[in-house]
Amino acid sequence: MTKKQRALGLLIVLFPFVAFFVSLSIGVVHIPLDGVLKSLLSPIFPSLKQGLPENYLGIVLGVRLPRLLLALLAGAGLSVSGASLQALSKNPLVNEYILGISSGAAFGASLSIVIFRQSFPPQISAFVFAVAAVMIVLLISRNSDSPIVSLLLTGIIVSAFFSALLSLVEFFASPYALQGLFYWLMGNLGWPGWGALSISLPLTAVGTAGLILMRWRMNVLSMSDEEARSLGVNIRREKLMVIFLATLVTAAVTSVAGIIGWVGLIVPHLVRMMVGVDNRRVVPLSAAMGAGYLILADDLARGLASSFEIPVGIFTSLIGIPFFILLLRKSKRIWL
């Protein structure tokens, strides 16, 4: 690891922390830094509430904090999932949604929004169908001679199938339900409250931590199967574990934030371009970079327009793709 790579790695680690605390001060309502800090600490030290304007607590604790925590963990989780699946499949084009998770989640949400209404919340329905889509992919591709190719192809097929089901539900949906679904599919970090996050965030954190802990094995899994076996690795078990954790993370994020594209594809590549291809560094740094990246994208989503809000999924693509193209042209190669 060169000196430059080390410095870049340190910057990447600091990026989400700086972004998180700076972003707590960003919003339509101007809240000075001491107001933000007092509001944050007030649940522990109730005396700090004294003298604070009434709406500060609601904005910092009820609006900004859950949103930023979700951005932090969702960005980290999606990026780590993407990096892990790319290493596992030895394919740089793989992303966290390749196994049908997004289509499954979208279909699940559509069933809830259009048919079941409040009796089956979209978050739960999206999670259930995201996991179901991956299970179907795994079941279909389990006995193939070339498991990874089969896995990716099956993922594409299952995605297409759930997309068709989604179109069918959309076709029969009432105009109201269709609008709700449309906005859900665009991705938004601002809607989930503490109730939804209390389930989603721990699942995302556990899955992300699990993948980071497996970073040593990713290097082995990205070798050929024969090489990996010769090193004494139980390939099937390890791969299933990576897929399980990536699914858990992506489904947990998608179920509350909708589909936020490109994070898991772009971020790991950016990290590889900066610090090299060793997964022991790429996986944890992808978490840091992804967290900061999604916070930044969300800052733009809620900061660019003064009053109205633009879905964050639009910005993850708008920022990431040109930046990615720029780096790609500079480095003239795809890293894996």
**Residues lying near another protein in the complex (CB under 8 A):** 27-29, 54-55, 58-59, 62-64, 117-118, 167, 170-180, 182-183, 190-191, 193, 302, 306-311
What is the Cα–Cα distance from 154 to 73, expressed in whole angstroms?
28
Nearer to another protein, 176 or 323 (CB): 176
Residue closer to another protein by CB (options 55, 144) is 55
Among 67, 61, 18, 82, which Cα is nearest to 290's?
82
CB of 158 to another protein, least distance (A): 19
Of residues 251, 283, 247, 105, the one with CA closest to residue 184: 105
**Residue in this structure with the two tokens 């932090």, named with its chain if needed:** 72
- Local structure of residue 223 (DSSP, 8 states): S
Q: Are 254 and 126 in contact (CB under 8 A)?
A: yes
96 or 298: whose CB is closer to another protein? 298
In this structure, the number of other CB atoms found within 10 A of the CB of residue 308 comes to 7
Minimum separation from the CB atom of position 146 to another protein (A): 33
**Cα 175–Cα 176–Cα 180 angle in degrees, nearest 5:** 115
Spatial distance between the Cα atoms of 36 and 186, rounded to a whole number of angstroms: 29
Nearest distance in Å: CB 204, another protein: 22
In whole angstroms, give the CA distance from residue 314 to residue 305: 13
Give me 88's structure tokens: 């596992």
Q: How far is the CB of 197 from another protein (least distance, A)?
A: 13
State the nearest-atom distance from the C-beta of 43 to another protein, in Å: 13
CB of 308 to another protein, least distance (A): 4
Tokens at 45, concatenated: 């030290």
Q: Output 310 or 321, the one with its CB closest to another protein.
A: 310
Contact by Cβ (8 Å): 256, 196: yes
Largest CA distance in the chain: 68
Considering the complex, state which of residue 261 and residue 264 has its C-beta at the smaller distance from another protein: 261
Distance in Å, CB of 46 to another protein, minimum: 16
What is the smallest separation between the CB atom of 167 and another protein, expressed in angstroms? 7
Report in angstroms how near the CB of residue 323 gets to another protein at its nearest. Answer: 26
Pick from 136, 115, 112: which is nearest to 243 by CA?
Answer: 136
Residue 275 CA, distance from chain mean position: 21
Q: Is 3 exposed, middle or buried (0-12, 13-18, 19+ CB in 10 A)?
A: exposed
Q: Which is nearer to another protein, 194 or 323 (CB)?
A: 194
Output 79 or 188, the one with its CB closest to another protein: 188
> Cβ closer to another protein: 7 or 305?
305
Q: Which is nearer to another protein, 143 or 174 (CB)?
A: 174
Length of the chain: 336
Yes or no: say if 252 and 77 are a contact pair by the CB < 8 Å rule: yes
